[in-house]
């Protein structure tokens, strides 16, 4: 009996050791180069085919081949900091033109943009669609957040979704949660939420404040909200808890635009370097076949030992 117990204990210990290893700390994420092309990148979004769209000074680009092929689609007066994909179209903000445009994701360069909306103030920044097709965009100059109604006739008329008084500082990042709530970032690092179904103009509720005052791009990945600030990427709890550093790297110069790859990786467009970076999420190790066999053996031996004990107890 005691031999069986010793074997069972050993097997269970091994199964725990190999099969249920703890994930790496959030701040220990590995940062690698996704692509390199010229200096300075902003914006960033993926389409359903896995193509990545990004802007650099003077051009809007489509990136294919897993970050190896950059194609200039059209020229820009400066950068596009906000991009979103819906219905086979790429929507992008142009803060210098004071407008939002769209092109087909599969267009052939030089692509011809279609005006979606003239924005009421300068510097439209990040944009995002909700599930119903409403497009939300932030305005860096006015601190207001606007909405373009789903199905509106282009050029669409902007509706004030939330005015700047509730944000206190200039708005930049926009991200939509799975439940429809909207999250916005400000130039001071504040994260503000407007709940789905609120009456416009909605009042934003402060969620938390992220350290640092630079950047402010937002994206959701696997249900977690991320934001860039200074030279770090933060994980931002939507519960109101403090944000924590998710990833940082000595290669970061000014990580500016965040996008979520189809596999859940974060793609970071660096505004002050030639690099676009990839951050893979922490992976909980999955037991191998031999490790599953060890787990099964542990369960069998533990069951056998229990049976022996029960029989001896009954015989007594």
DSSP per-residue string spanning 109-133:
SSP--EEEEE-SSS-EEEEEE-TTS
Can you name the CATH fold of 26-279?
Neuraminidase (2.120.10)
In the chain, ranges of CATH 2.120.10.30 domains: 26-279
55's enclosing H/E stretch is strand 52-56
Whole-number Å distance between alpha carbons of 215 and 87: 28
Q: How far are the Cα atoms of 13, 75, 149, 272 from residue 56, in angstroms, in the given order?
A: 53, 10, 29, 10
pLDDT at 230: 86
Give me the sign of the Cα torsion angle 35, 41, 47, 51: negative
101's enclosing H/E stretch is strand 99-104
Tokens linked to 67: 């970050």
pLDDT at 142: 80
The count of C-alpha atoms lying within 13 angstroms of the C-alpha of 157, restricted to the half-sphere facing its C-beta, is 1
pLDDT at 283: 53
Whole-number Å distance between alpha carbons of 227 and 249: 15
Please say whether the beta carbons of 236 and 229 come within 8 A.
Answer: no
How many degrees, rounded to 5, is the angle at CA 135 between CA 132 and CA 139? 155
> Can you tell me which residue has the tokens 């790297």?
249
Strands 145-148, 159-162: pairing is: antiparallel
> Can you tell me which residue has the tokens 């939509």?
176
Whole-number Å distance between alpha carbons of 274 and 38: 5
Whether the model clears a pTM of 0.95, i.e. scores above it, the answer is no
Q: What is the pLDDT along the chain (316 residues), one digit of tens a residue?
A: 434 334 433 443 443 344 433 333 344 588 999 999 987 899 999 999 999 999 988 899 999 999 999 999 999 988 899 999 999 999 999 988 899 999 999 999 999 999 999 998 767 999 999 999 999 999 888 888 999 999 999 999 999 999 876 666 788 999 999 999 999 998 888 999 999 999 999 998 999 999 876 658 999 999 999 999 888 999 999 999 999 999 999 999 999 999 999 999 999 999 999 999 999 876 544 455 554 455 455 555 555 544 444 444 445 5
Please say whether the beta carbons of 121 and 144 come within 8 A.
Answer: yes
Radius of gyration of the chain, Cα coordinates, nearest whole angstrom = 25
Please say whether the beta carbons of 156 and 165 come within 8 A.
Answer: no
Nearest to 178, CA basis, from 243, 250, 128: 128
Helix axes 2-19, 289-315, angle to 10 degrees: 150
Whole-number Å distance between alpha carbons of 145 and 162: 5
SS3 of 193-228: the string is EECCCCCCCECCEEEEECCCCCCCCEEEECCEEEEE
How many residues in total does the chain contain?
316
């Amino acid at each position: 009996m005691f031999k069986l117990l010793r074997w069972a204990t050993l097997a269970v210990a091994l199964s725990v050791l190999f099969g249920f290893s703890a994930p790496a700390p959030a701040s220990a994420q590995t940062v690698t180069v996704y692509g390199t092309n010229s200096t300075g990148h902003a914006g960033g979004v993926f389409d359903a085919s896995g193509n990545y769209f990004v802007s650099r000074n003077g051009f809007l680009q489509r990136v294919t081949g897993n970050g190896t092929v950059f194609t200039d689609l059209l020229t820009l007066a400066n950068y596009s900091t906000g991009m979103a994909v819906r219905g086979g179209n790429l929507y992008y903000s142009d803060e210098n033109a004071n407008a939002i445009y769209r092109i087909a994701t599969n267009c052939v360069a030089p692509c011809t943009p279609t005006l979606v909306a003239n924005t009421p103030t300068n510097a439209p920044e990040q944009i995002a669609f909700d599930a119903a097709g409403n497009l939300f965009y932030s305005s860096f100059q006015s601190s207001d957040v606007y909405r373009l109604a789903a199905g509106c006739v282009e050029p669409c008329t902007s509706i004030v979704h939330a005015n700047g008084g509730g944000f206190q500082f200039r708005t930049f990042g926009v991200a939509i949660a799975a439940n429809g709530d909207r999250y916005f970032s400000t130039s001071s690092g504040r994260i503000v939420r407007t709940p789905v179904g609120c009456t416009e103009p909605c009042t934003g509720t402060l969620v938390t404040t992220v350290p640092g005052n630079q950047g402010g791009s937002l994206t959701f990945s696997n249900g977690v909200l991320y934001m860039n600030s200074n030279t770090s990427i933060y994980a931002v709890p939507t519960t109101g808890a403090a944000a924590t550093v998710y990833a940082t790297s000595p290669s970061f110069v000014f990580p500016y635009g965040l996008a979520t790859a189809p596999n859940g990786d974060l793609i970071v467009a660096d505004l002050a370097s030639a690099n676009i970076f990839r951050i893979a999420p922490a992976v909980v190790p999955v037991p191998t076949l031999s490790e599953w066999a060890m787990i099964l053996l542990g369960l069998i031996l533990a069951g056998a030992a229990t049976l022996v004990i029960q029989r001896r107890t009954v015989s007594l």
